[in-house]
Structure 1
Amino acid sequence: MQFGIFTVGDVTTDPTTGRAPTEGERIKAMVAIARKAEEVGLDVFATGEHHNPPFVPSSPTTLLGYIAAATERLILSTSTTLITTNDPVKIAEDYAMLQHLADGRVDLMMGRGNTGPVYPWFGQDIRQGIPLAIENYALLRQLWREDVVDWEGKFRTPLQGFTSTPRPLDGVPPFVWHGSIRSPEIAEQAAYYGDGFFANNIFWPKDHFKRLIDLYRRRFASYGHGTPEQAVVGLGGQAFIRRNSQDAVREFRPYFDNAPVYGHGPSLEEFTEQTPLTVGSPQEVVDKTLTFRESFGDYQRQLFLMDHAGLPLKTVLEQLDLLGEEVVPVLREEFAKGRPAEVPDGPTHAARLAQASAVATAGA
Structure 2
Amino acid sequence: MQFGVFTVGDVTPDPTTGRVPTEAERIKAMVTIAQKAEEVGLDVFATGEHHNEPFVPSSPTTLLGFVAARTSRLVLSTATTLITTNDPVRIAEEYAMLQHLADGRVDLTLGRGNTAPVYPWFGQDIRQGINLAVENYALLHRLWREHVVDWQGRFRTPLQGFTSTPRPLDGVPPFVWHGSIRSPEIAEQAAYYGDGFFANHIFWPAEHTQRMVGLYRQRFEHYGHGSADQAVVGLGGQVFVRANSQDAVREFRPYFDNAPVYGHGPSLEEFSAQTPLTVGSPQQVIERTLGFREYIGDYQRQLFLIDHAGLPLKTVLEQLDILGEQVVPVLRREFDALRPAHVPDAPTHASLRAARDAATATTEAATTAAGAGATP
TM over 0.5, shorter chain: yes
TM-score, normalised to structure 2, is 0.96
Aligned counterpart, 1:7: 7
Query: Where in structure 2 are the equivalents of 1:22-37 lying within 5 Å?
Result: 22-37=22-37
Q: Deviations over 1:45-92 (max 9, x none)?
A: 000000000000000000000000000000000010000000000000
Q: Separation in 2 of the partners of 1:133 and 1:199?
A: 16
Is 1:178 matched up with 2:206?
no
Query: Where in structure 2 are the equivalents of 1:129-278 lying within 5 Å?
Result: 129-278=129-278
Aligned counterpart, 1:112: 112
Partner of 1:237, secondary structure, is: coil
Partner of 2:114, secondary structure, is: coil
Q: Separation in 2 of the partners of 1:113 and 1:275?
A: 20
Partner of 2:310, secondary structure, is: coil
Q: Separation in 1 of the partners of 2:279 and 2:161?
A: 54
Amino acid at match of 2:21: P
Partner of 1:252, secondary structure, is: helix
Aligned counterpart, 1:42: 42
Deviation at 1:339, TM superposition (A): 1.2
Is 1:318 matched up with 2:326?
no
Q: Which runs of 5+ in 2 are unaligned?
A: 365-376
Deviation at 1:337, TM superposition (A): 1.8
Query: Where in structure 2 are the equivalents of 1:333-348 lying within 5 Å?
Result: 333-348=333-348
Query: Where in structure 2 are the equivalents of 1:32-111 lying within 5 Å?
Result: 32-111=32-111
Partner of 1:177, secondary structure, is: strand
Partner of 1:70, secondary structure, is: coil
Partner of 2:323, secondary structure, is: helix
Q: Separation in 2 of the partners of 1:242 and 1:209?
A: 27
Amino acid at match of 1:42: L
Runs (4 or more) in structure 1 with deviation over 4 Å come to none
Q: Separation in 2 of the partners of 1:134 and 1:89?
A: 15
Partner of 2:140, secondary structure, is: helix
Q: Separation in 1 of the partners of 2:33 and 2:242?
A: 18
Partner of 2:292, secondary structure, is: helix
Q: Deviations over 1:332-355 (max 9, x none)?
A: 111112311110001110010000
TM-score, normalised to structure 1, is 1.00
Q: Separation in 1 of the partners of 2:305 and 2:212?
A: 21
Q: Separation in 2 of the partners of 1:102 and 1:314?
A: 27
Partner of 1:279, secondary structure, is: strand
Deviation at 1:359, TM superposition (A): 0.4
Q: Separation in 1 of the partners of 2:71 and 2:195?
A: 26
Amino acid at match of 2:322: L
Q: How many residues align?
A: 364
- Higher-Rg member (1/2): 2
Percentage of matched positions with identical amino acids: 80
Q: Separation in 2 of the partners of 1:149 and 1:290?
A: 44
Deviation at 1:214, TM superposition (A): 0.2
Partner of 1:283, secondary structure, is: helix
Amino acid at match of 2:23: E
Aligned counterpart, 1:128: 128
Aligned counterpart, 2:327: 327
Partner of 1:216, secondary structure, is: helix
Q: Separation in 1 of the partners of 2:269 and 2:125?
A: 39
Aligned counterpart, 1:357: 357
Q: Separation in 2 of the partners of 1:257 and 1:112?
A: 27
Q: Separation in 2 of the partners of 1:322 and 1:117?
A: 38
Amino acid at match of 2:104: G
